[in-house]
C-alpha cells in the first residue's frame, strides 16, 4: 500500500494556471484535453493542498479585451481566490505567444514592439499588485536569435537591462511590494535565448540599476537542457541571496523542454535539491511549472499535480531521515563537510600573509588522505532507495 504523505502549512506549494491548464498542444499536434475553467482549476488545486497560484496576464484576462471585460475577468479570479483560500504567489507577462513578439519583446529590433512590451508588463504589474503577488517573473522566451547577424548581443543586453530598470522604477514609484525574478533558459523557442543559464542571469543582475530587487527563478528543465547541475545553480543563487522563486519540474538531459512531473526523472538530483531547499531556510514558494504527459485526460492532469507534490514531500522526508542518520553524521565528519565552513586564512592582513608564508606543509601526507565520499554517497543512495 502507498504511504500517506501530508502537506505541511510551511510547504507553500504553487502551480501556474498554465500548468494544470495545459491542453497538450505541441509543435506536432493540437490540443488533446478540454479546457479546465479557472475556477475548477483553483478548486482542484486547493483540494490537493496547494498554497498558491501564478498567472500570465493573458491566462487571466483575454488578450486585447476592453477594460470592462478585463475588470470582470479579474474580479471573477479574485472571487475564486477568496472562495478557495489560495494566494496569488507570482505573476508574469506573456511576451511570447502573439506574433508581435516574434523577434523578441524587450530586445525586438523594432522600438515600437519594445515599448509595447514594457507597457504590457506595466499593466500587469498593476494587476499583480492588486492581487498581492510578491514576485514578478521574467521569462524571456523570445529574447534571442537564430542568426547572430540579426542583433548585436551587446545592444540586446542593454535594451534588456533598460527595460528592467524602467520597470523596477515603475514598481518603486508606485510603491508596490514586488520583486523581480529572471528565469533563464538556453533555447526554445529561440535558437539562442539571452540569459541562457542561472550564471548568466546572476552576472547580468549585478549590472541593473535596482539590482537589490532582482533575483532569479531557476527551472529544473532549463538548466538540465544546458547539461548543467540544477542543484549547483540553485545553491549559488541561494548563496548570493538571489533565489526569489523556483520552477520545479523534470527533464532528461539533451531533450526539448519536457516540463515533466517533478521527481519523475532525476531522482538523486531532486533528493539533494529538496534537501538544499529544506535546509537552507528558503522561504519562497515551491512552484511547479510542469504539465501532464500529452497522453493524459483531465483525470491524468490531477494525477500529475498530486505526483509533483507527493514526490517533493517524499524527498523532504528522505532528506530528514538522511540527516538524522548517525552513520551519515559519522561519514560526513570523515569527509570533512563541516571543515569547509571554517574560514581558511581569514581576511588579508600583512601579518596573516607573513604567518602563512612561514607555515610548512607536508604535501605527501596531505595527499594520502582519502575522503570517504563513496561511503557517504552510498548512504544517500541507500536512503533514496529505502534500503538504509
Instruction: Just list the catalytic residues.
Output: 56, 59
Residue 318: how many other CB atoms lie within 10 Å: 21
Out of Mn ion, ligand GLT, none, which partner does residue 18 contact, by CB within 5 to 8 A per kind?
ligand GLT
How many whole angstroms separate alpha carbon 22 and alpha carbon 358? Answer: 65
The dihedral sign for the CA sequence 341, 347, 348, 349: negative
Pattern 15-54, ligand GLT, x by CB under 6 A: ---x------------------------------------
How many whole angstroms separate alpha carbon 323 and alpha carbon 244? Answer: 26
Asked if 247 interacts with ligand GLT (CB under 6 A), we say: yes
Residue 301: how many other CB atoms lie within 10 Å: 23
Query: C-beta of 247: minimal distance to ligand GLT in Å?
Result: 5
Query: C-beta of 159: minimal distance to Mn ion in Å?
Result: 22
DSSP 99: G
**Cβ-based nearer residue to Mn ion, 219 or 250:** 219
Among 58, 80, 183, 223, binds ligand GLT (CB under 6 A): 183
Instruction: Report how far apart, in Å, the C-alpha atoms of 95 and of each of 61, 104, 105, 116 are.
Output: 14, 8, 6, 10
Out of ligand GLT, Mn ion, none, which partner does residue 19 contact, by CB within 5 to 8 A per kind?
none
# residues near ligand GLT by CB under 6 A: 9
Query: Hey, which residues between 309 and 368 contact ligand GLT (CB under 6 A)?
Result: none
Largest CA distance in the chain: 77
Residues that bind Mn ion (CB under 5 A): 219, 221, 247, 257, 259, 289
Q: What radius of gyration do the chain's Cα atoms show?
A: 23
Secondary element (H or E) of residue 326? helix 326-335
Across the beta sheet with 247-248, the strand order is: 214-216, 179-183, 135-139, 87-92, 52-56, 13-16, 286-288, 247-248
Query: Hey, which residues between 49 and 88 contact ligand GLT (CB under 6 A)?
Result: 56
Query: C-beta of 73: minimal distance to Mn ion in Å?
Result: 23
**Cβ-based nearer residue to ligand GLT, 251 or 384:** 251
Query: C-beta of 96: minimal distance to ligand GLT in Å?
Result: 7
Among 86, 128, 137, 328, binds ligand GLT (CB under 6 A): 137
How many whole angstroms separate alpha carbon 289 and alpha carbon 248? Answer: 6
Asked if 204 interacts with ligand GLT (CB under 6 A), we say: no
Asked if 11 interacts with ligand GLT (CB under 6 A), we say: no
How many whole angstroms separate alpha carbon 238 and alpha carbon 225? Answer: 21
Out of Mn ion, ligand GLT, none, which partner does residue 292 contact, by CB within 5 to 8 A per kind?
none
**Cβ-based nearer residue to ligand GLT, 96 or 322:** 96
Which spans of this chain sit near ligand GLT (rule: CB under 6 A)? 18, 56, 92, 137, 139, 183, 219, 247, 289
Amino acid at each position: 500500500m502507498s504511504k500517506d504523505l501530508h502537506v505541511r502549512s510551511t510547504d507553500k506549494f504553487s502551480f501556474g494556471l498554465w500548468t494544470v491548464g495545459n491542453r497538450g498542444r505541441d509543435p506536432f499536434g493540437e490540443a488533446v484535453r478540454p479546457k479546465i475553467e479557472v475556477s475548477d482549476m483553483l478548486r482542484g488545486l486547493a483540494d490537493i493542498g496547494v498554497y498558491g497560484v501564478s498567472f500570465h496576464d493573458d491566462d487571466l484576462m483575454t488578450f486585447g479585451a476592453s477594460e470592462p471585460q478585463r475588470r470582470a475577468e479579474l474580479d471573477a479570479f479574485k472571487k475564486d481566490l477568496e472562495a478557495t483560500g489560495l494566494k496569488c504567489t507570482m505573476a508574469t507577462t506573456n511576451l511570447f505567444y502573439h506574433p508581435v513578439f516574434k523577434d523578441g519583446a524587450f530586445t525586438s529590433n523594432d522600438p515600437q514592439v519594445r515599448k509595447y512590451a514594457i507597457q504590457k508588463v506595466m499593466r500587469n504589474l498593476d494587476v499583480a499588485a492588486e492581487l498581492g503577488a510578491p514576485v514578478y517573473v521574467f521569462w524571456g522566451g523570445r529574447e534571442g536569435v537564430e542568426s547572430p547577424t540579426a542583433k548585436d548581443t551587446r545592444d540586446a543586453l542593454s535594451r534588456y537591462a533598460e527595460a528592467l530598470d524602467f520597470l523596477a522604477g515603475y514598481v518603486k514609484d508606485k510603491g508596490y511590494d514586488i520583486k523581480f525574478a529572471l528565469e533563464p533558459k538556453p533555447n526554445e523557442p529561440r535558437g539562442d535565448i539571452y540569459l541562457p543559464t542561472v550564471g548568466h542571469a546572476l552576472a547580468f543582475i549585478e549590472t541593473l540599476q535596482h539590482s537589490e530587487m532582482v533575483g532569479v527563478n531557476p527551472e529544473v528543465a532549463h538548466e538540465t537542457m544546458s547539461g548543467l547541475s540544477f542543484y549547483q545553480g540553485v545553491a549559488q543563487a541561494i548563496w548570493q541571496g538571489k533565489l526569489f522563486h523556483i520552477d520545479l519540474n523534470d527533464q532528461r538531459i539533451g531533450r526539448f523542454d519536457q516540463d515533466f512531473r517533478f521527481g519523475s526523472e532525476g531522482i538523486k538530483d531532486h533528493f539533494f535539491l529538496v534537501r538544499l531547499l529544506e535546509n537552507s531556510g528558503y522561504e519562497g514558494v515551491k512552484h511547479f511549472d510542469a504539465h501532464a504527459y500529452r497522453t493524459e485526460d483531465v483525470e491524468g492532469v490531477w494525477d500529475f499535480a498530486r505526483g509533483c507534490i507527493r514526490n517533493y514531500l517524499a524527498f523532504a522526508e528522505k532528506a530528514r531521515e538522511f540527516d538524522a542518520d548517525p552513520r551519515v553524521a559519522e561519514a560526513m565528519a570523515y569527509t570533512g563537510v563541516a571543515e569547509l565552513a571554517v574560514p581558511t586564512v581569514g581576511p588579508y592582513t600583512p601579518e596573516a600573509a607573513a604567518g602563512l608564508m612561514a607555515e610548512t606543509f607536508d604535501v605527501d601526507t596531505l595527499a594520502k588522505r582519502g575522503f570517504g565520499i563513496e561511503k557517504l554517497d552510498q548512504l544517500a543512495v541507500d536512503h533514496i532507495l529505502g534500503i538504509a
